[in-house]
């Protein structure tokens, strides 16, 4: 496991907490497990006992904190064990969905990422945002009924989409494989669909690229101590998510990680769905492998078909997946040299042994030994749930960030 030092949000939150720590800062310290008693909060923030008590009282009245069992004795002189403080993850739930080109998954999650109800099914991204998001709203209504949680308990929605997203607006920007979605008001349409199918009042809807949210979910779940983490999703297209110091790196307008459109010599004659020739995705994605299999007489239309063939041990699918892995590995040698990650994770339809073998062959051959000496190249741990977990975490981190906690407490009148 990557052990490159955790210097992410937890540490930055602690640094903010000094001197004039707010109720949001106290909640952050408790949620991160950095201070879980009143005495520990006093020590971490420099606040007086009375001020800590006042700010904790607001969090208790909001229902966001609860008392746990007795913890360690705060005083060096002994005495009764102090009462521990816990983030109450039962006071609300999060809705999350992960859209692929022809398939989607949706779930209801607790605030700590436990999946309470989940479903998958066919949703074709080319049918357009109006239809897809309307159907997604219906799915969410069914899922809330299944886990017996009222719509009033939903605090937010996270959505992963297979295209570049302007994080500030929640709108996709020139997505190569999402016709009709460019600049569309996803948050508004999904919000209306939720109200229609669940009766939920207006709530925050956060949208991000699927590879970004997969990377975020996987890093938090399996590699929390890795300060530089890269996930590459290889399905219908190819994209990468980068997590640095616990935060997703998106670039200036959401375009970071779009490695599927790096030009490669092997694809000089191949037309990509973005309209250009020579893109990596045109020759090494699940869709590209499916087209080559179909040309050879093997029934395959998409990356998911290739995944099924690989699971069945189909020899030609395995050979083509390994070849695709080598092409991607060649590009990833540059990515690894540039970012120096501790973990490189392969996910998506082709994330099996043949593809992973091909990646390793070219990556270790082309990258400098210095860049790969402490690198772990691994397969996805969360599988199809990675995007859901990441989308749920995105919502929670947004809503319970210290500055937003203050806004929400004022809105609640506490």
For residue 2, being part of any structural domain is answered with: no
Residues 124 and 21 in one domain: no
Task: Provide, for the chain, the percentages of residues in helix, strand and coil under a 3-state DSSP scheme, each rounded to the nearest 5.
Answer: 45, 20, 35
Domain enclosing residue 404, as ranges: 93-212+387-412
Same domain for 233 and 376: yes
18-62 per-position pLDDT tens digit: 558 999 999 999 999 999 999 999 999 999 999 999 999 999 999
- Give the pLDDT confidence of 381-411 residue by residue, as tens digits: 999 999 999 999 999 999 999 999 999 999 9
Residues 227 and 176 in one domain: no
Q: What is the count of structural domains for the chain?
A: 3
Of 87, 102, 134, at which residue does a domain stop?
87
Q: Residue 83: give its domain's CATH number.
A: 1.10.10.10
Mean pLDDT of the chain: 91
Does residue 349 share a domain with residue 203?
A: no
136 shares its domain with 100: yes
Antiparallel, parallel or unpaired: β 228-234 and 205-209: unpaired
Q: Any bridge partners for residue 359, and if so which?
A: none
Q: Residues 241, 248: contact at Cβ < 8 Å?
A: yes
Residues 79 and 134 in one domain: no
For the chain, the C-alpha Rg in angstroms (whole number) is 23
Question: What was the pLDDT predicted at 73?
Answer: 54
C-alpha distance from residue 246 to each of 116, 225, 256, 274 (Å): 25, 9, 16, 31
Q: Kindly report the pTM of this predicted structure.
A: 0.90
Instruction: pLDDT band for 365, please (50, 70, 90 cuts).
Output: very high
Contact 408, 23 (CB under 8 A): no
252 and 345 share one domain: yes
In a domain, 253, yes or no: yes
In a domain? residue 4:
no
Does residue 117 sit in the same domain as residue 229?
no
What percent of the chain stands above pLDDT 70? 92
Q: Are residues 80 and 184 in the same domain?
A: no
Please state the rounded mean pLDDT for residues 229-237.
95
Helix 129-146 with 186-198: angle, nearest 10 deg: 40
240 shares its domain with 197: no
Residues 203 and 233 placed together within one structural domain of the fold: no
Residue 217 lies in a domain: no
Residue 199 within a domain: yes
pLDDT of 2 strictly over 90: no
Query: Among 59, 87, 115, where does a domain finish?
Result: 87
The CATH number given to whatever domain includes residue 139 is 3.30.420.40
Residue 3 lies inside a defined structural domain of this protein: no
Taking alpha carbons only, the member of 333, 315, 260, 321 closest to residue 290 is: 321
143 with 284, same domain?
A: no
């Amino acid at each position: 496991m990557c052990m490159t030092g955790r210097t992410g949000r937890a540490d930055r939150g602690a640094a903010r907490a000094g001197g004039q720590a707010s109720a949001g800062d106290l909640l952050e310290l408790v949620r991160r497990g950095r201070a879980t008693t009143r005495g520990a909060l006093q020590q971490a923030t420099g606040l007086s006992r009375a001020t800590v008590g006042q700010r904790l009282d607001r969090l208790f009245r909001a229902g966001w904190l609860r008392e746990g069992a007795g913890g360690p004795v705060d005083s060096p002189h002994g005495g009764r064990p102090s009462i521990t403080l816990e983030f109450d993850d039962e006071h609300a739930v999060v809705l999350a969905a992960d859209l692929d080109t022809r398939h989607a998954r949706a779930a209801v999650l607790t605030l700590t990422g436990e999946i309470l109800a989940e479903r998958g099914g066919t949703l074709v991204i080319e049918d357009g945002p109006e239809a897809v998001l309307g159907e997604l709203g219906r799915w969410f209504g069914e899922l809330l009924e299944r886990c017996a949680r009222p719509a009033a308990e939903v605090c937010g929605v996270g959505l992963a989409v297979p295209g570049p997203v302007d994080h500030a607006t929640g709108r996709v920007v020139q997505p190569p494989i999402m016709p009709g979605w460019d600049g569309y008001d996803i948050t508004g349409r999904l919000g209306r669909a939720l109200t229609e199918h669940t009766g939920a009042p207006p709530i925050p809807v956060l949208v991000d690229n699927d590879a970004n949210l997969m990377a975020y979910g996987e890093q938090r779940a399996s590699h929390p101590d890795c300060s530089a983490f890269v996930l590459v999703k290889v399905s219908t297209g190819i994209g990468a998510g980068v997590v640095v110091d616990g935060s997703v790196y998106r670039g200036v307008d959401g375009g970071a990680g779009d490695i599927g459109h790096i030009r490669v010599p092997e694809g000089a004659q191949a037309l990509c769905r973005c309209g250009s020739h020579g893109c990596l995705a045109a020759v090494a994605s699940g869709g590209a492998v499916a087209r080559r299999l179909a040309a050879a007489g093997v029934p395959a239309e998409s990356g998911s078909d290739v995944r099924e063939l690989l699971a069945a041990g189909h020899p030609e699918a395995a050979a083509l997946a390994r070849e695709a892995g080598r092409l991607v590995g060649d590009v990833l040698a540059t990515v690894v040299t540039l970012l120096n990650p501790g973990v490189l994770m392969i996910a998506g339809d082709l994330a099996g042994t043949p593809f992973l073998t091909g990646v390793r062959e070219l990556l270790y051959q082309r990258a400098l030994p210095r860049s790969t000496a402490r690198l772990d190249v691994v397969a996805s741990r969360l599988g199809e749930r990675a995007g859901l977990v990441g989308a749920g975490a995105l919502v929670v981190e947004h809503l319970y960030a210290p500055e937003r906690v203050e806004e929400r407490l004022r809105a609640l009148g506490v």
